[in-house]
Amino acid sequence: MALTRDLLAIDRIFLEPAVEDHAHGRAILARFPGAERIVVASHWKIPELHGNAGGVEDWLRIKRSTLVLGVKKTLPMRPNGRSAHFIAPSTSNGCAMACAYCYVPRRKGFANPISLYVNTPAACAAIARHAAKQGPLPEPDQIDPACWVYDIGENGDLSVDAAIHEGVRDFVHLFRDLPNAKASFATKAVNRDLLAYEPRGKTRIRFSLMPARIAKVVDVRTSPIPERIAAFNDFVEAGYEVHANFSPVILYEGWEEDWRDLFRQIADTLSPAAMAQLRCEIIMLTHNAGLHEVNLGWHPRAEDLLWRPDIQEAKTSEGGQINLRYRTGWKGRWIARFKDLLAAELPACTVRYAF
């Protein structure tokens, strides 16, 4: 992915004092020698960025021009059970892209540009120790037939991070040498630099997909859907496991026809090798009243699709937030209809889980 002014033109870097003690920190700073440097006590608490309602007006400018660098203080492995067995300590929090439904702004507040953690070697060492304690995967499950799977990109998009941070390569190289573990991350960007990482089958990339005309509204600053689909073959050939992340599934008049067209595009594009290993996850839209109010300040058109209180209901998340999800009962029916459509158009694509 070329580091163009359309995606990143960093002119301001917030950094914790310890960042320059780390090789990755020094390397990232060297990439942007002309950027203003602002030392902060914590990458998590920057009032100018996080919780600053005035930042809504500069949402996209902040995404493009601001970078935060920090040192990850704790390195826990959280059980997951859906897309992975464990959520690993990631290399980042926040993103240069600006998807209107992203949950990270709900937690951190407003624009939330890329925050990169520069102590990746410590995270890699923690993952290696954790994997060693697990031993072999007892039996095949919905997540993987042979390996413990660690999600390494829960709060960011590693394809974009890799354009400025070698920590993503560190993770890919770590997992190819762990006999019982595999990395996984979802992405909405196509960064062909990753094709040279030699993952040897031990990193799973989940390209997020939705109908292209809807993505043009809600997937702001991401790679176009046809480009993501076209990348499947090349990434499989380069040694990645490549799955589809059908997420989020947004309900609107005509959604089934749009998804049928998408499934047919996938069928027409994927090589036999890519199709043979194809799996997917299905994630229905989750929204949030606070994010709805924020979006009205910078991208109200997206809310025509995302804010549907007539078919949504409030539900408390595991993190204690009050979110909006499609109504119980109806949601199950819509998932069933989605699965039926997928089975008709892409019968080779196994559903790993639907939520």
More confident residue, 191 or 113: 191
- Residue 239: is its pLDDT beyond 90? yes
pLDDT of residue 1: 46
* Res. 50 pLDDT band, cuts 50 70 90: low
- Residue 277: is its pLDDT beyond 70? yes
- Residue 106: is its pLDDT beyond 60? no
- Report how far apart the first and last C-alpha atoms of the chain are (Å, whole number): 31
Cβ neighbours of 225 (radius 10 Å): 22
Q: In order of start, what are the domains of the chain with their CATH numbers?
A: 12-354 (3.80.30.30)
Query: Distance between CA atoms of 210 and 262, rounded to whole angstroms?
Result: 7
- Residue 288: is its pLDDT beyond 90? no
- Residue 104: is its pLDDT beyond 90? no
* Res. 105 pLDDT band, cuts 50 70 90: low
pLDDT of residue 90: 84
pLDDT, averaged across the chain: 92
Q: What is the pTM of this model?
A: 0.94
- Residue 265: is its pLDDT beyond 80? yes
Query: Distance between CA atoms of 7 and 97, rounded to whole angstroms?
Result: 8
- Residue 197: is its pLDDT beyond 80? yes
Half-sphere exposure of 48 (CA within 13 A, CB side): 13
Query: Distance between CA atoms of 237 and 104, rounded to whole angstroms?
Result: 32
Q: Give the residue-averaged pLDDT of 52-78.
A: 83
- Residue 57: is its pLDDT beyond 70? no
Share of the chain above pLDDT 70, in %: 93
- Interval 122-155: pLDDT, tens: 999 999 999 999 999 999 999 999 999 999 999 8
Burial (CB count <10 Å: 0-12, 13-18, 19+), residue 82: middle
